[in-house]
Copies of this chain bind each other. A is one copy, B any other.
Amino acid sequence: MATRIQGYYAILDVTGSSYNEAALLASARELLAARPCCLQLRAKQLPLADFCRLGHGLRILCTQAEVPLCINDRLDVALAVSADIIHLGQGDLPLGEARRILAATPAREMLVGISTHNLEQAREAQAGGADYIGFGPVFPTATKSDADPAVGLSALEKVAAAVSVPVVAIGGIALANIDAVARAGASAAAAIAAIQNTPDRAAAGRAIARAFGKGFIAE
């Protein structure tokens, strides 16, 4: 499955350590209904066994939906569930180490995305071989309690102009600001709260995708 990081970048954000598999898979199905450019599983507090179990479940759903599966933070989990993308933050396994591991597993092709919060990190990630970068938080966000201060649209614009890899805007993205985010040069946008707080999540995801010029035939 070809992976193109453009449009709506969906995140299944599992907060806390309690595990309700049926509810999480139902949420994933809702996100996948928008046909995002990938579905990222983020589960920072989940026990590793549950993280893996959910990852295997999403692997099946993503394959059925023809949507690439991305695992956040943990390359070991990404390898275990045969993810298409590993996404690493600044405090996670360094990019060079991830590249070293992936080079030793030639059977598997896995893209690497890196979270960045300023121009220097963005340039460093590209130089280190990131396939795309996340950039943000663009706007203030309530989803991450430990989020960095918002960087704003002008910083997004500078970063998008400075790197050639796709830039995924994240942090406070909503339908009200999505056109400005696209104009700033982002290739895709992740939206957690804006999607969670809307009655028709698939429609909201498709609206985000449309802002990046990726139209969908109405279902």
Contact = CB atoms under 8 A, between A and B. Distances in A.
Contacts of A199: none
A77 B98 CA distance: 9
Contacts of A76: 74-76, 79, 93, 97-98, 101
Interface residues of A, number: 22
A89 to B, nearest CB: 10
A127 interface: no
Q: State the majority secondary structure of interface residues on A.
A: helix
Contact of A77 (B47, B49, B77, B93): B93
A55 to B, nearest CB: 9
A161 interface: no
A79 B98 CA distance: 9
Nearest to A91: B47
Interface of A: 47-49, 52, 74-77, 79-80, 91-94, 97-98, 100-101, 104-105, 107-108
7 contacts: A48-B92, A49-B94, A52-B97, A74-B76, A76-B97, A80-B97, A80-B100
Given A76-B98, A80-B93, 11 more contacts: A47-B91, A48-B91, A48-B92, A48-B97, A49-B91, A52-B93, A52-B97, A76-B76, A79-B104, A80-B98, A104-B107
